[in-house]
Chains A and B, each alone.
Chain A
Amino acid sequence: MSKQSATVETSYREALKEAIREAMTRDERVFLMGEDVGHYGGCYAVSKGLLAEFGPERIRDTPLSESAFVGAGIGAALGGMRPIVEVMTVNFSLLALDQIMNNAATIRHMSGGQFNVPLVIRMATGAGKQLAAQHAHSLEGWYAHIPGIRILAPATLEDARGMLWPALLDPDPVLIFENNTLYNLEGTLPENAVAVDIDKAKVMHTGNDLTIISYSASLFKCLDAAKALSREGVEAEVIDLRTLRPLDDATYLASIAKTHRALIVDEGWRSGGISAEISARIMEQAFYELDIPVERVCSAEVPIPYARHLEEAALPQVDTIIAAAKRMVSHG
C-alpha cells in the first residue's frame, strides 16, 4: 500500500490561511483585499500575519466600501490580476450584490466571450453565534441562483485548504462561503495537502436506508445524526454537496438510486432555497426511484433572532434531522 504521508494538526482557519499563503507564493498576480484583512488580521483572523509576510501591496486593507472594493476586484481580475476579495460576511456582501450580479457574473457573456473575470470572493456565512438578523444569514443558496459564477461551500479542513487554488485557476468568478461556526474546527491534514476537486459532491458516510444531502456546517449535524441513527439500525448515506453551483447531480442521484429516500438539510430558508432546487432536480431526474416524497430540514422562515433559544429553534438541529430521517424510514 502507499506510504502514509506525515500529517499536521491544523484548523479550518489555519487551513484557509495556508491556502492563501500558497496561492500568493505560487502566483504573483494573487493578492488579498478587504476590510481589516491587514492591520487587524482579518475579522475571523484568517489573514493574521500575512501583512507582515507579504506587505501592504498584496494584503490590502480597504475602506468600508463593499461595492467599490468588490467592483475593484472585478476590474483587477479583468486587468490581469488574480484577486482574492474578502467580504466580512454574506450580509454585507449585499452592499456589493450589484457588482457581483451585474458585473462579475455577466461580463463574459455580455462581451460575447471577449472578457472574463478570474476573481475569487471569500465570505463568512451562517448563524449559531447569536449575532442576530444582520449578521447571521445563509444566502449562498441565493448566490447559487446566478449563472456565470461558481459557488463553493467548504465544510472540511481538506476543502478549506484545497478549494482556493482551483478557484483561482477558474477563469470565471468563484464565491467561497465559509460558515462562521467552522473557523475553529480542528483536525489533521496531510502535510502536503493539495488542491481538491471542485466539481464533485462527496459521500461522507455510507448507508442504504436514506440519503441525506447537505453542505457546510449543517454537514456535521447530519453526520452526527447519521451516527445516532446507525445505533438504532438506520443507515443513512450523507452527502456533502461542496459545490452549490454547478450542482453535482450525479452523486446524490446515484445515492438515491440505492436508498430511495432523500432528505435535504440546509441552513438557508426553505422557500425558494437551494433545497427547493435540489428537490426539484430529484423530482425531474429520479422520481421513479423514490419510495416516499423528498423531505427538507431548513431554517425557520424568520430573520435569525438573537436570543439563544430562538436562534437554536430557527436552525436545523441534529434532533430535527434524526426525527425527519426516522419518520421517512418508518413510512416506507
Chain B
Amino acid sequence: MNSTIDREHAIDQLRMMLLIRRFEEKSAELYSASKIRGFLHLYIGEEAVAVGVMASLAPEDGVVATYREHGQALARGVSANRIMAEMYGKQEGCSRGRGGSMHIFDAATRFYGGNAIVAGGIPLAVGLALAEMMRGCNTVTCCFFGDGAVAEGYFHESMNLAALWKLPVLFLCENNLYAMGTAIRYTQAAPDIAAKGAAYGMKATAVDGMDVVAVEGAARAAADHIRKGNGPYLLECRTYRFRPHSMFDTELYRTRDEVNQWKKRDPIDLLARRLYDTGGFNDQDMDVLEQSVAVEVEAAVAFAEAGTLEPVEDLTRFVNSERSDA
C-alpha cells in the first residue's frame, strides 16, 4: 500500500465496507421499527468478501447473489436508495417492492438477484456463463453462495457442468462456518470446501475472508484465470457473520466468546489499522468517511420514506411479459 493509487483504492474499499456496515445497522433498526419486514439477513462481519470480490469484476461481468446480499449489491454498485426502498416495499425499490431484502435485482449492474433458495442461484450462474461463452463475450459470471449451499445437489451438479464445459464462472463461497444454526462440522464430512473444486477438476483456492486486500488479490487471480479461458474457479472466502442468521435467531448454537474472538478480526478494523500503520491516514480521515457514509445512509432512508406504494391494481403485473416489454 505504498503508491497513492493503492492508498486511494484502499480508502475506497474501507468506505464501501463502512457503508455496508452502517447501512445494515440502520436496516436492523428499521426492522425493529417495523419499516422493514420479512426476513432480513445481515452481512455484518463479512464485508471484506463482497468488497474484495467486486473490485475484481468489470461492469460487463455478471453477478448472482444470495439472500444475504445487501453487501453484495452495494459493493456491486446497486444504489443504496433503491435497495432501501425495496426493503420498504416501495415501487421505487430495485425490484419494485415485490422482492424485499432477499430479492434485490438490478439489470444495470448485471446483478441477477438475491436468491432465497439456498444454492438455487448456482445453476443459474452456470447458464449465464454458458450464454456469455456462446455469444463470444469474454466475461466472468460471479456466483455467491454459502457453506451451507455446498451440501446441495445443485452445487455438485453445477461444479461438474461448469468444469466439463469450461465455463467462465467464479464460484464464490462465503464460508462463515454456519448454515443458519448448524455448524459446518455437523454438515460436511470433508469440510475443506476448496478441495471439492479440485475434485471436480477446476482450480480452487481458499483465502482469509476477513482481509479485503487478500480477498481482492485472490479474486483478481481467479478472474484472470477465468478470462484467459481456463474455465471455472472456486474461491472459498473464510469469514464469519457477527450478527444472528436473521432477525429471528436466538443463537443457541454458538457462544458469545466465539463471536467475540472473530470480532477481533473485524474486516473494517483490519483495513483501517493497516492504513493507520502505513501513515497518511488518521482519525480525522476516518471521521470524514463515517460522515460521508452517514449521509448516504440517511439519504437512502429518506428516499425510501418518500417512496410510494405500487397501486394494488398492478398486483398481477410482471407475471407475464407485457407487450411493451417484448
Q: A residues near B, CB below 8 A? A: 35-36, 38-41, 43, 61-68, 91-92, 95, 129-135, 300-303, 305-310, 313-314
A-B pairs with lowest CB-CB distance, top 6: A40-B181, A307-B89, A306-B100, A63-B151, A63-B187, A307-B97
Asked if B319 contacts A39 (CB within 8 A), the reply is no
Question: What is the CA–CA distance of A312 and B6 in the complex, to the nearest angstrom?
Answer: 51
Asked if A132 contacts B102 (CB within 8 A), the reply is yes
Summed over the interface, the residue pairs from A and B with CB atoms below 8 Å come to a total of: 128
Query: Which B residues lie within 8 Å of A302 (CB)?
Result: 315-316, 319
Name B's interface SS.
loop
Q: Is B161 an interface residue (CB 8 A)?
A: no
Q: Is B188 an interface residue (CB 8 A)?
A: yes
Stretch at the interface among B8-16, B76-84, B115-123, B224-232: B115-123
Question: What is the CA–CA distance of A136 and B250 in the complex, to the nearest angstrom?
Answer: 23
Question: What is the CA–CA distance of A133 and B310 in the complex, to the nearest angstrom?
Answer: 17
Asked if A36 contacts B181 (CB within 8 A), the reply is yes
Asked if A40 contacts B252 (CB within 8 A), the reply is yes
Contact of B38 among A61, A67, A129 (CB under 8 A): A129
Query: Which A residues lie within 8 Å of B187 (CB)?
Result: 61-64
Contact of B319 among A67, A301, A310 (CB under 8 A): A301
Q: Is B68 an interface residue (CB 8 A)?
A: no
Query: Which A residues lie within 8 Å of B37 (CB)?
Result: 129-130, 306, 308
Query: Which B residues lie within 8 Å of A95 (CB)?
Result: 117, 152-154
Asked if B181 contacts A132 (CB within 8 A), the reply is no
**Could you pull out 25 A-B pairs where Cβ atoms are within 8 angstroms?**
A35-B180, A38-B186, A39-B186, A40-B181, A40-B249, A63-B182, A63-B188, A64-B149, A65-B152, A129-B38, A131-B100, A131-B102, A132-B116, A133-B103, A134-B120, A300-B315, A302-B315, A303-B98, A305-B97, A305-B98, A306-B95, A306-B97, A306-B100, A310-B97, A310-B310
B interface residues, tally (CB under 8 Å):
42
Given A39-B186, A40-B252, 7 new contacts (CB under 8 A): A40-B249, A61-B186, A130-B37, A302-B315, A305-B315, A306-B98, A310-B310
Query: Which B residues lie within 8 Å of A310 (CB)?
Result: 89, 97-98, 310, 312, 315
Q: Is B99 an interface residue (CB 8 A)?
A: yes
Query: Which B residues lie within 8 Å of A63 (CB)?
Result: 148, 151, 179, 182, 186-188
Q: Is B253 an interface residue (CB 8 A)?
A: yes
Asked if A131 contacts B252 (CB within 8 A), the reply is no
Query: Which B residues lie within 8 Å of A68 (CB)?
Result: 153
Query: Which B residues lie within 8 Å of A309 (CB)?
Result: 89, 309, 312
Asked if A133 contacts B182 (CB within 8 A), the reply is no
Asked if A306 contacts B99 (CB within 8 A), the reply is yes
Tell me the smallest distance from the CB of A41 to a CB of chain B, in Å.
Answer: 6
Query: Which B residues lie within 8 Å of A303 (CB)?
Result: 98, 319
Contact of B103 among A36, A62, A66, A306 (CB under 8 A): A306
